[in-house]
Amino acid sequence: MTELSQDQQTAFEAAAFRRLVAHLRERSDVQNIDLMNLAGFCRNCLSNWYREAAEASGIEMSKEESREVIYGMPYEEWRAQHQTDASAEQKLAFERNRPKE
């Protein structure tokens, strides 16, 4: 494997993160519950991780602010435009697979 400097690694990770966020914005048809059921994380998890990273660097950020970074708009606006009701099957799968906190 090519040896990377810390700056290069950070830049590549940031680029991959930006691409993931752009992809999730483009795929608004994919519901968060589907992401949780298949991958164990969703857009909200990603926004929480973003907020935690900001706060670890001494930058205060609200949940709403971090969600807007990920969703590209206020969360409630995204929900109104894109979120559908979860089916009974989706809810059951979520209860089986939900992260244990």
DSSP assignment string, 14-52: HHHHHHHHHHHHHTTTS-HHHHHHHHS--HHHHHHHHHH
Kindly report the pTM of this predicted structure.
0.89
Q: Which two tokens stand for residue 93?
A: 């799968």
Specify the pLDDT at position 97. Answer: 82
CA distance 49 to 62: 12
Specify the pLDDT at position 49. Answer: 97
Specify the pLDDT at position 60. Answer: 98
Specify the pLDDT at position 101. Answer: 65
Locus of tokens 């995204």? 78
Specify the pLDDT at position 100. Answer: 73
The residue ranges of the chain whose pLDDT is under 70 are 101
CA distance 66 to 51: 6
